[in-house]
Amino acid sequence: MHLRAYTRSYIDQFTFTRPEEVKLGETVQTVSNPENWKEELLTSTAKFVLLGLPEDIGVKANLGREGTRSAWQTAFQSLMNVQSNEWLEGDQLLVLGHIDFTDLLDKADQLNIYNTADLQSMRVLVEQVDERVCEVVKVIAQAGKIPVCIGGGHNNCYPIIKAIAEANGNPINAINLDAHADFRILEGRHSGNGFSYAFENGYLKKYYVIGLHTNYNSQTTINRLRSSRNIGFSWFQDIFIQQQKTFNTVIDEAVEFSEGSPCGLELDLDSVANMPSSAQSPSGITAEQARLYLSRVAERTNITYLHLPEGAPSLAPPHDNSVPKLIAYLVTDFIKAAKK
């Protein structure tokens, strides 16, 4: 496998201690021997497992802006420096490490996405990303843990869903807060068709996407979403512009729609207004609404994973740490809600 497992000594390098404070990085669980990470995962008492996905191959294969490879390292460091206190103690989380995509990224960097042959080669590389992600996430799920996957493009929803469905022996549901449905045609793997691949291949049973933007979903995609009773969706326009429904009402509709099977929880960071991301937009939800969404769904649903893709801090202005800080908030909110 291509996992780079983190030890205590590695995490200590990124945890800044202060007198009379205890940081999450000081109390999280880790593996003591990276070569035995599978065995240690089985014996760990942590419910949640943190996994980094530093890649942007899927985004580039979707003709998007690269930069999502940069989210993991900054988010990891931000999360390790959150306070460990009565609200959240670090021993509930095992920091596993990240998947190494260096060789694939090097190959992708040599390709021109505006050349047809190169674009197809890029999408073949995404299939290799799929294999690496699926392999590790499946082990996490088989150990009875909840993977918390950070970074990369939304293409990674497919291998995550596949891994957990295979580990469980049954398809799962997913709820996604996103400006885009990511349900495009099966034209080769990229960040815009992870859910359609999961659905067509029988790993995704029900899919509900909240907050779609009317400006950025094609009529073909809309028709595809409407063609199945196992797909539900709501429009950003209806919630926040026309105000036909409240945000809480739509979240609860998604939860009710997804009852009956374990459910994955997705939040595309480009749904947050002005968040540095692959498809950054001035119009979107607030950071507080993103936190509310994660907490409300996690409290009410049998959650099997959390996936926070598409953040791109390398695209942010200098000294802008909004991506890693928001990811740290979202991860801690999720653990607090899902542990109940």
For range 298-306, the mean pLDDT: 97
Domains located in the chain, CATH noted: 3-338 (3.40.800.10)
Quick check: 339 pLDDT over 90?
no
Q: pLDDT at residue 340 above 80?
A: no
Going by the DSSP 8-state scheme, the letter that residue 317 receives in this structure is P
Contacts of 110 (CB under 8 A, 6+ apart): none
| pLDDT-based confidence at residue 250 (cuts at 50, 70, 90) | very high
Q: What is the per-residue pLDDT across 163-219, written as a single tens digit (0 to 9) for each?
A: 999 999 999 999 999 999 999 999 999 999 999 999 999 999 999 999 999 999 999
Q: Residue 137 CB: number of other CB atoms within 10 A?
A: 28
| pLDDT of res. 253 | 98
Summarised one tens digit per residue, pLDDT across range 8-24 is 999 999 999 999 999 99
List Cβ neighbours of 196 (8 Å cut-off, separation of 6 or more). 182, 183, 184, 185, 186, 224
pTM of the model: 0.97
Closest CA relative to residue 23, chosen from 83, 95, 92, 78: 83
pLDDT band, residue 255 (cuts 50/70/90): very high
Across residues 232-244, what is the average pLDDT?
A: 98
Please tell me the predicted confidence (pLDDT) of residue 113.
94
Region 233-251: mean pLDDT is 98
**Confidence (pLDDT) at 224:** 96
- Tell me what pLDDT residue 1 has: 79
Q: What is the mean pLDDT of the chain?
A: 97
pLDDT single digits (tens) 33-82: 999 999 999 999 999 999 999 999 999 999 999 999 999 999 999 999 99
How many of the other CB atoms lie within 10 Å of CB of 130?
21
Q: What's the CA gap between 44 and 195, in Å, rounded?
A: 31
b vs e for 59-95, b when ≥16 Cβ sit within 10 Å of the residue's Cβ?
bbbbebbbbbbbbbbbbbbbbbbbebeeebebebbbb
